[in-house]
């Protein structure tokens, strides 16, 4: 994992999309035995342990002067994560990842609205065009439309993308305030552990399998969710803190490509010509956004 201060934030974002796709595979496999609450809580617990170790090794203090911002980021991020994990368990992997990665479109919308209403920032037109191309790719990947019995999960996926966009904006704000990436990811993991555990209190959120019947491989998959997600989260946090928000938003589309390939290889999901064309547009959007990033 590139951790040097001069490592490209855009390379870090690309690596994060690969690891998030691996996390999605673990979520889909673990969801056969564990409920969404257990997966979210385990992701947070494993992440908190890993980040506490990194903080100790790097002598990074975990105490923060802006706890309110961490709580806001945690609430939005954990809710988005919970909805996303539910979708991964109930939809094809590529579809679930695609819906969540609509967060890039929402980020662009947020920035455009801010620029139009307050005139506080000028949005690069070519980057907006790259986002539009990426959205066209998303539309192709989603074609044909979701089956009727998957509509509820699909709507939750769209909501997860919007909440994820809010969380990413808050990550950028924390980075500009000087909060170390290790601290940001640690407190997000703590929030995930606590909120995921509280979700167990909601009726119907238990595990589909009894603990005694869960195979040891499923427990490894559960740990894999936390390990892959934590490293990817750290890379993503660094990318958003140090790079252009819109460029990173475009590069995130690459996660759909990784998830689609893994879905074909591991779960036998088929890709039509429209999906392949959508993937090509998504990659083109990411490359274009990287080329046109602000100096």
Q: Which of 64-68, 152-156, 271-275 is most confident?
A: 64-68
Output the CA–CA distances (angstroms, integers) from residue 208 to 37, 89, 195, 212, 214, in the order listed: 11, 12, 20, 12, 10
Which pLDDT band, with edges at 50, 70 and 90, does 204 fall under? low
- Determine how many CB atoms are found less than 10 A away from the CB of residue 292: 17
Query: Is the residue at 244 inside a domain?
Result: yes
Write the CA distances from 255 to 23, 72, 248, 262, 292, integer angstroms: 11, 25, 12, 11, 20
The pLDDT value given to residue 113: 72
Is residue 264 in some structural domain? Answer: yes
- Residue 186 is predicted with a pLDDT of 92
Per-chain mean pLDDT for the chain: 83
Residue 9 located in a structural domain:
no
Q: Is residue 11 part of a domain?
A: no
Q: Taking 80 as the threshold, does the pLDDT of residue 144 lie above it?
A: no
In a domain, 107, yes or no: yes
Residue 112's domain comprises 16-206+214-291
Residue 1 resides in a domain: no
pLDDT at res. 295: 47
Work out how many domains the chain is built from and give that number: 1
| Higher local confidence (pLDDT), 260 or 6 | 260
Residue 141 lies in a domain: yes
């Amino acid at each position: 994992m590139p951790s040097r201060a001069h490592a490209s934030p855009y390379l870090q974002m690309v690596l994060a999309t690969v690891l998030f796709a691996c996390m999605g595979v673990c979520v889909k496999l673990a969801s056969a035995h564990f409920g969404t609450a257990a997966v979210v809580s385990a992701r947070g617990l494993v992440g908190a342990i890993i980040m506490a170790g990194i903080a100790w090794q790097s002598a990074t203090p975990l105490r923060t002067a802006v706890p309110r911002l961490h709580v806001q980021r945690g609430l939005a991020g954990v809710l988005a994560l919970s909805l996303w994990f539910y979708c991964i368990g109930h939809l094809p992997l590529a579809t679930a990842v695609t819906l969540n990665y609509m967060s890039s479109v929402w980020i662009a919308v947020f920035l455009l609205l801010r620029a139009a209403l307050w005139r506080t920032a000028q949005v690069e037109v070519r980057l907006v065009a790259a986002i539009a191309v990426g959205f066209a790719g998303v539309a192709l990947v989603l074609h044909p439309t979701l089956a009727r019995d998957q509509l509820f999960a699909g709507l939750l996926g769209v909501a997860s993308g919007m909440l994820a966009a809010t969380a990413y904006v808050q990550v950028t704000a924390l980075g500009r305030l000087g909060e170390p990436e290790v601290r940001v990811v640690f407190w997000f993991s703590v929030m995930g552990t606590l909120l995921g555990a509280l979700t167990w209190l909601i009726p119907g959120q238990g595990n589909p399998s009894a603990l005694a019947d869960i195979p040891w491989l499923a427990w490894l998959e559960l740990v894999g969710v936390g390990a892959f997600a934590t490293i990817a989260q750290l890379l993503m946090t660094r990318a958003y803190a140090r790079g252009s928000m819109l460029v990173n938003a475009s590069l995130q589309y690459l996660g759909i490509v990784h998830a689609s390939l893994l879905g074909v290889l591991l779960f036998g999901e088929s890709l039509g010509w429209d999906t392949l064309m959508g993937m090509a547009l998504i990659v083109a959007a990411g490359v274009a956004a990287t080329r046109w990033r602000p100096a």
